[in-house]
């Protein structure tokens, strides 16, 4: 859930992004990934929304209201994974037999502290094997991941060994999408899990790094990557474009009529689409961030 006062500050910061021209640089074409089975997006979103559940017992028993939906009801082996320091950041890891995947999910922003982390718009260097130098990522998002890593990594390692034929799906909404993206890159960079075994899917995710980081996401060879945006969701416009932040490929946009657009013209070289969510630059919406596919976060 979004805390109102810090979010209004974010809104004012984001407004500076309006009327900034879209990057029109000519880039070398890279083959497009296989498209997602987009009918699964509501299922993935339920996994993301469940990460907001504060009652650890409901998560581990898979007995929360959203857990009972038929699309995710067969999920098992759920482990609640709060941060070790104060537990304010949280996630969970579970197994979905129907999708043959290990679900790795982190919750979005729901405290003042988390939104203050979001406001840390400066970046830190990140070295990633197989990618060019010059990568920079949002320092606040990285800090959240480093707080969760000591809790989540051992659980994931255990599940990788227990389910060797399963993929890993890194799933999150809002801040959770940013953190799971960084987690996936970190794990691949350190050899914890291969990119070819990893799927990335986020909803309402803010920008995470610079253009070199966006390019790196495409170079690492993830199994599939989807960045889903609902209508005029304000958060995907943050941090502002003019501060040298770029979204990674590939965007899927739910337009104002509720139609999922799959041919957004972003590309793996760091060009953001100008025919999808960025057409809404002057129509930013908080409600469009809070609910996807008619599913509200707990």
Is the pLDDT score of 21 beyond 80? no
Least confident of 14-23, 30-39, 108-117, 274-283: 14-23
> Residue 94 belongs to what H/E stretch?
strand 90-96
| Tens-digit pLDDT profile for residues 142-192 | 999 999 999 999 999 999 999 999 999 999 999 999 999 999 999 999 999
pLDDT-derived band of residue 35, with 50, 70 and 90 as boundaries?
low
Question: Is residue 143 classed as helix, strand or coil in its secondary structure?
Answer: helix
Distance CA 56, CA 92 (A): 9
Give domain status of residue 184, yes or no: yes
Give domain status of residue 27, yes or no: no
Question: Is residue 76 classed as helix, strand or coil in its secondary structure?
Answer: strand
Q: What is the CATH number of the domain that holds 210?
A: 3.40.50.1820
Distance CA 252, CA 275 (A): 11
Contact criterion met (CB below 8 Å) for 278 and 261: no
68 C-beta neighbours (distance < 10 Å), count = 10
Domain that holds residue 278: 4-18+33-296
Mean pLDDT of 17-33: 34
pLDDT given at position 86: 73
Q: Per the confidence metrics, is the pTM higher than 0.75?
A: yes
Give domain status of residue 181, yes or no: yes
Work out how many domains the chain is built from and give that number: 1
Give domain status of residue 125, yes or no: yes
Q: Average pLDDT over the chain, rounded to whole?
A: 87
pLDDT given at position 32: 39
């Amino acid at each position: 859930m979004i805390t109102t006062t810090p979010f209004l500050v974010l809104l004012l910061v984001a407004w500076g992004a309006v009327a900034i021209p879209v990057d029109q640089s000519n880039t070398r074409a890279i083959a497009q990934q296989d498209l997602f089975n987009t009918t699964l997006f509501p299922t993935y979103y339920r996994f993301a929304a469940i990460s907001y559940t504060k009652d650890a017992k409901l998560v581990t028993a898979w007995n929360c209201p959203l857990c009972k939906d038929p699309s995710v009801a067969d999920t098992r082996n759920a482990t609640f994974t709060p941060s070790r320091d104060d537990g304010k950041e949280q996630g969970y890891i579970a197994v979905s037999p129907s999708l043959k995947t290990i679900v790795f999910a982190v919750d979005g922003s729901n405290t003042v502290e988390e939104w203050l982390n979001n406001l840390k718009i400066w970046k830190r260097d990140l070295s990633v094997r197989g990618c060019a130098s010059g990568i920079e990522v949002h320092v606040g998002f990285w800090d959240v991941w480093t707080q969760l890593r000591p809790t989540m990594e051992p659980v994931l390692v255990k599940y990788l060994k227990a389910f060797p034929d399963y993929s890993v799906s890194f799933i999150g909404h809002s801040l959770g999408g940013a953190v799971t993206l960084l987690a996936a890159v970190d794990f691949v960079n350190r050899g914890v899990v291969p990119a070819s075994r990893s799927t990335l899917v986020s909803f309402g995710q803010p920008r995470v790094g610079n253009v070199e980081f966006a390019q790196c996401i495409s170079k690492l060879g993830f199994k599939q990557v989807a960045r889903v945006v609902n209508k005029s969701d304000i958060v995907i416009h943050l941090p502002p474009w003019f501060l040298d932040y770029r979204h990674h490929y590939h965007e899927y946009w739910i337009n104002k009529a509720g139609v999922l657009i799959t041919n957004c013209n972003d590309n793996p070289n760091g060009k953001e689409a100008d025919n999808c969510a960025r057409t809404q630059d002057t129509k930013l919406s908080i409600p469009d961030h809070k609910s996807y596919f008619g599913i509200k976060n707990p």
